[in-house]
Amino acid sequence: MKFTLPILATAVALTALPAISQELVLSIGSRGYGPAVERNLERFKEVNPDVSIEWNKVSDVPGETRKLYVTSLTAKSPTPDLLAVDVIWAGEFAQRGWLEPLNGLLDDETIAAFNPSLLDAATVDGEVHALPLYADGIHFFYRTDLLEKYGLEVPQTWEEVLAASQTITEGEGNPQLYGFVSMWAKIEGLFMNWLAFTNGNGGGFYDAGGNVAVNSEANIEATQFMVDLLHEHRMTPDSILNARPDDARTLFQQGRAAFLMVQDFVHAPLSAENSPVAGKFDFTRVPYFEGHEDANSTTMGGWFLGINPNSENKEAAAEFLAHFTAKEQQLAAAVEDNRAPTIPSVYEDESMGSNDVLAKFGGNYDFGVVRPSAGSGSKYPRVSEIMQLEITNALHRQKPVEEALNDAQEQIEALLAE
């Protein structure tokens, strides 16, 4: 009986003042932006105690999250209010009307602070539909202790990677140790891998004239190298064909691989205090094939944060968005978690000088290559699917490399002509 009165009072207060407390649902993975999400939520709560945020932790495997978004956005669901969007979907989602234009909700100054070429990825009809949260790319991680043990230099080319892998695995004589691991499951990450390999051989998705050139000589050669790495040289585990980024990271972290090629985010878990490889690894730029030292072989990615047009609290969501992507927040994420900022002026801050890891990531981004999402717009998911499928066909030796890439070229040409 004692409790009835306060409960009643609270109930009355809640019904009488419905407008004060607002609820927002934020949809973002827990891995990509790492500890910054939690920290930003805390800080926002301090400034805006009236707005409560529910963090919907979605998958960090982009394809899985995309399915979730497509379902709820097609159904015009009001939640999530805010959603993290992969750079490759930003344009498509904006085109489909799945992201609220931000120009009316945020002032021009806030928007203008961001890197303009990143903003372009989310700009449709002159309106910005999402703000870039961070940029990332794939890097080549290696075991410093193993290289040292066998007197090897850090490999710069794929030829050197292969030789070093062979020296190390033969020297160690441990069947549980592999040369190279990466994410070759049929996921977006496989396409990123392929772009890294092919661009590193002077090839790529487009030729110099901007035409789709998936089946170029350079691409066939680079893809064949991937196939040989697996089937002929046996430098990768068979499970590389099912491996997603975290699977590859786990093998490397357990000390079962000499080389690892995935995105930035693995740096934090690999260097964590209890990590078996902490202090025994470093990373460098994605390798290239001999004679292509200027190749842009770092496949780039990044995530945006946007607002659901069916959200019932767009103003509060906009306020949260501005806070979440603000300069101070990006600086903290950069200095503490090595997340590459999207506001150029963050790089000028003096506290940035202390972060060598991020500086090195940044050096690799100078050799960046983006995926063909801008050129294929809302058809990008199908372009990526065709590429993933045909590369997988080649890796499983279901088709010879040349045939697989010819098939991909043909299907993509037909698709883009539709």
Partner 1 sequence: MTSMTSPLDRRRHLTGLAFITPTMLVIIAILVYPILQSIVLSFGQSSIDGTAPYQFVGLKHYAALADNERFWNALWVTLIFTGLSIPLELAMGIGLAVLMNEHFRFKGIARLAVLFPWALPTALNTLMWRWMYNTDYGLFNAAALQSGLVDRPINWLGDETLAMGSMVVVAVWKTSSFMALIILAGLQSIPRDLYEAGRMDGMTRWQEFREITLPLLKGPILVALIVRSMDALRTFELPFNLTDGGPVTATESLSLYAYKVIFDFIEFNYGAAIVVVQFLVIFAMSLLYILTLRNKD
DSSP string for 157-210: BHHHHHHHHHHHHHHH--TT-EEEEE--SSSHHHHHHHHHHHHTTT--SB-TTS
Q: What does the DSSP 8-state code read for residue 345?
A: G
- Cβ nearer to partner 1, comparing 119 with 251: 251
> Vertex 213, ends 210 and 217: CA angle to 5°?
130
CB of 382 to partner 1, least distance (A): 5
| Site for partner 1 contains 413 (CB under 8 A) | no
Q: SS3 of 32, please?
A: coil
Q: Which of 237, 255, 301, 306 binds partner 1 (CB under 8 A)?
A: 237
Candidates 10, 21, 74, 345; binder of partner 1 (CB under 8 A) is 74
Q: Which of 33, 62, 66, 325 binds partner 1 (CB under 8 A)?
A: 66
**Crossing angle (nearest 10°) for helices 188-199 and 380-395:** 70
Q: By CB under 8 A, what part of segment 340-399 binds partner 1?
A: 378, 381-382, 385, 389, 392-393, 396, 398
Q: Are the C-beta atoms of 122 and 129 separated by less than 8 Å?
A: yes
CB of 129 to partner 1, least distance (A): 16
Q: What gap in Å lies between CA 257 and CA 273, rounded to an integer?
A: 19
Task: Please state the closest distance from residue 238 (CB atom) to partner 1, in A.
Answer: 4
35 CB-near residues (< 8 Å, 6+ apart): 336, 337
What whole-number distance in Å separates Cα of residue 96 and Cα of residue 74?
10
CA angle 42, 66, 307 (to 5 degrees): 50
Tell me the closest approach of the beta carbon of residue 66 to partner 1, in angstroms: 7
Cβ neighbors of 147 (< 8 A, separation 6 or more) are 153, 154, 164, 168, 258
Shortest Cβ 62–partner 1 spacing (Å): 11
Cβ contact 304:115 at 8 Å: no
| Least distance from partner 1 to the Cβ atom of residue 68, Å | 9
Q: Cβ 393 to partner 1, closest distance in Å?
A: 6
Question: Please, what is the minimum distance in Å from the beta carbon of residue 185 to partner 1?
Answer: 7
Would you give the distance in Å from CA 241 to the centre of its chain? Answer: 19
> One symbol per residue from 160 to 199: x for binding partner 1 (CB under 8 A), - otherwise; what is it?
---------------x---------xx-------------
Among 35, 39, 70, 347, binds partner 1 (CB under 8 A): 70
Q: Which two tokens stand for residue 387?
A: 């590429």
| Rounded CA separation 129/163 (Å) | 47
Rule CB under 8 A: say whether 239 interacts with partner 1.
yes
From 14, 23, 45, 67, residue interacting with partner 1 (rule: CB under 8 A): 67
Question: Smallest gap, in angstroms, from Cβ of residue 374 to partner 1?
Answer: 19
The β-bridge partners of 206 are: 212
Which range in 4-12, 69-77, 128-136, 157-165 contacts partner 1 by CB under 8 A?
69-77
Site for partner 1 in 240-259 (CB under 8 A): 241-242, 247, 250-251, 256
71 belongs to the binding site for partner 1 (CB under 8 A): yes
Q: Which of residues 77-96 bind partner 1 (CB under 8 A)?
A: 96
Instruction: Write phi, then psi, for 139 (nearest 5 degrees).
Output: -130, 165
Burial category of 16 from C-beta neighbours within 10 Å (exposed 0-12, middle 13-18, buried 19 and up): exposed
Q: Which amino acid is at 99?
A: L
What is the biggest distance separating any 2 CA atoms in the chain, rounded to whole angstroms?
Answer: 83
Q: Which of 91/237 has CB closer to partner 1? A: 237
Size of the site for partner 1 (CB under 8 A): 30
> What is the contact mask toward partner 1 in residues 25 to 64, using x (rule: CB under 8 A)?
--------------------------------------x-
Shortest separation between residue 280's beta carbon and partner 1, angstroms: 20
Site for partner 1, rule CB under 8 A: 63, 66-67, 70-71, 74, 76, 96-97, 175, 185-186, 237-239, 241-242, 247, 250-251, 256, 378, 381-382, 385, 389, 392-393, 396, 398
